Amino acid sequence: MISVSEALQLIEKHAQFNAIKVKPIIKTMGLVLAEDVISAIHMPPFKQSSMDGYAFAHSDSDCYTVVGEIQAGSARNLQLNQGEAVRIFTGARVPDSADTVIMQEHVQRQGNQLNIEILPNKYANVRPIGEQINAGEIALTKGVELNEAAIGFLASIGATRVKVYKRPKVSILITGNELQQSGDQLEDGQVYESNSITLKMALKRLGINKVNTAMVGDDLAQTTEAIKKCIAQSDVVLISGGISVGDYDFVKQALEANGVSEVFYKVNQRPGKPLWFGVKDKTKVFALPGNPASSLSCFYIYVLPLLKAQLGHRDCHLPSAEAFAADDIDNKSGKTLFLKGMVENEQATLLSGQASSMLKSFAVCNAILVIPSHVTFIKKGEKITYLKL
């Protein structure tokens, strides 16, 4: 049995970037750039007015003749002579012969006669060519996560396709004779299967929408065959259940039969002790405990960081912070505890229903409180580390 930090290090060591793919920017939300994006244009591409007003060549004069107008979008490059100004609008191209734009609120106009009331500084209200970025400069660097602003920025410099790390293909294999599909009638001894939908939804949050799901009973041959198929079609395989020490837990044997190399088995934690992690070629395999809360806890602590690292993210773990324990917390187990909690106003409250079979507390918590294995007691009011959900 290894410690939580040893398990995390082993996973980090085995993480590899996913394949790189050129994608249209509209398909890249949440993905990470696999190379720097160089701007092909100056932005703005021309001297641009940032106001509705009048463009002119700056001088001491407070009187100009308006000789025309330039709308946004017009290519017009009017030659202004001394004493001439041009009506101009926000976003429009400022003529080469002008250097300054005065707001329309700061002039008096009568016919074509323009009187300046508050003379702006030279260059005022004109965005110079390349003010935001020049052609040939790096727009966004490799490793940046593409959010709405980044994608919009790429669009604004005319970048339509970028290189990103692909989303991984993930398979979920659910094992267990006792599991009934949701919607069907429960027979005595059966419970509804929920881990596949929980994991699918957690993957969806990472933008991973294409997920194969399969179910097998507690049978070695079937489990071996199902794992084989999952590995053939996936970058990451998540197996649920069948990894403990019961006579009908066949997952470990089935993984060995498929030549998946064990990296670790069993972590000194609660919930989720019987976590198994292994690799076959480029495919990573997690065998997660079947108890619903253990499964999801292991997903957050171990699977999520692997997926995020392979997607190219720099911060791969759930964000952590500190709060004050609202109750005394005992830890006689010698294990690291991951407890469902609610953190409000820096007070961390333990929720009821911590058993590894119980999802309800996970459904309404906003934090996982982390009690390290060597800490036997936390007094109310002491600082405690938590992971934000």
CA 107 to chain centre: 49
- Using DSSP's 3-state secondary structure scheme, residue 131 falls into coil
Say whether the peptide bond before residue 120 is cis (omega within 30 degrees of 0). no
Tell which positions 248-267 bind a second copy, by CB under 8 A: 248-249
Tell which positions 49-78 bind a second copy, by CB under 8 A: 50, 52, 69, 71-77
Measured torsion, CA atoms of residues 159, 164, 169, 172, in degrees rounded to the nearest 10: -100
- Is residue 16 part of the contact set for a second copy (CB under 8 A)? no
- Is residue 25 part of the contact set for a second copy (CB under 8 A)? yes
- Is residue 112 part of the contact set for a second copy (CB under 8 A)? no
Which region, judged by CB under 8 A, interacts with a second copy, from 8-16, 154-162, 232-240, 278-286? 154-162
| Residues 362, 379: Cα–Cα separation, whole Å | 23
Tell which positions 230-249 bind a second copy, by CB under 8 A: 244-249
- Is residue 360 part of the contact set for a second copy (CB under 8 A)? yes
Alpha helix segments (H runs only) across the chain: 4-14, 148-156, 195-204, 220-232, 251-257, 292-298, 304-310, 360-364
Q: How many residues bind a second copy (CB under 8 A)?
A: 94
- Is residue 33 part of the contact set for a second copy (CB under 8 A)? no
What are the tokens at 152? 């919009």
Residue (85 or 202) nearer to a second copy, CB:
202
- Is residue 5 part of the contact set for a second copy (CB under 8 A)? no
When binding is defined by CB under 8 A, the residue of 3, 65, 97, 194 that contacts a second copy is 194
Q: How far is the CB of 186 from a second copy (least distance, A)?
A: 6
Residue (156 or 373) nearer to a second copy, CB:
156
CA distances from 377 to 322, 323, 330, 346 (A): 17, 16, 5, 19
When binding is defined by CB under 8 A, the residue of 16, 61, 158, 232 that contacts a second copy is 158
Instruction: For residue 157, give every residue at least 6 positions away whose Cβ sits within 8 Å of its Cβ, in sequence order, or none.
Output: 39, 40, 41, 43, 133, 139
- Is residue 324 part of the contact set for a second copy (CB under 8 A)? no
- Is residue 136 part of the contact set for a second copy (CB under 8 A)? no
Q: How far is the CB of 349 from a second copy (least distance, A)?
A: 17
Q: How far is the CB of 162 from a second copy (least distance, A)?
A: 12
Residue (49 or 258) nearer to a second copy, CB:
49
Q: How far apart are the first and last CA of the chain?
A: 27
- Is residue 187 part of the contact set for a second copy (CB under 8 A)? yes
Instruction: For residue 165, give every residue at least 6 positions away whose Cβ sits within 8 Å of its Cβ, in sequence order, or none.
Output: 17, 18, 19, 20, 21, 31, 32, 34, 310, 311, 312
Which region, judged by CB under 8 A, interacts with a second copy, from 91-99, 252-260, 325-333, 369-377? 91-99
Which region, judged by CB under 8 A, interacts with a second copy, from 58-66, 110-118, 153-161, 372-380? 153-161
Which region, judged by CB under 8 A, interacts with a second copy, from 10-18, 87-95, 261-269, 375-383? 87-95
Query: What sign has the CA pseudo-torsion 334, 336, 340, 345?
Result: positive
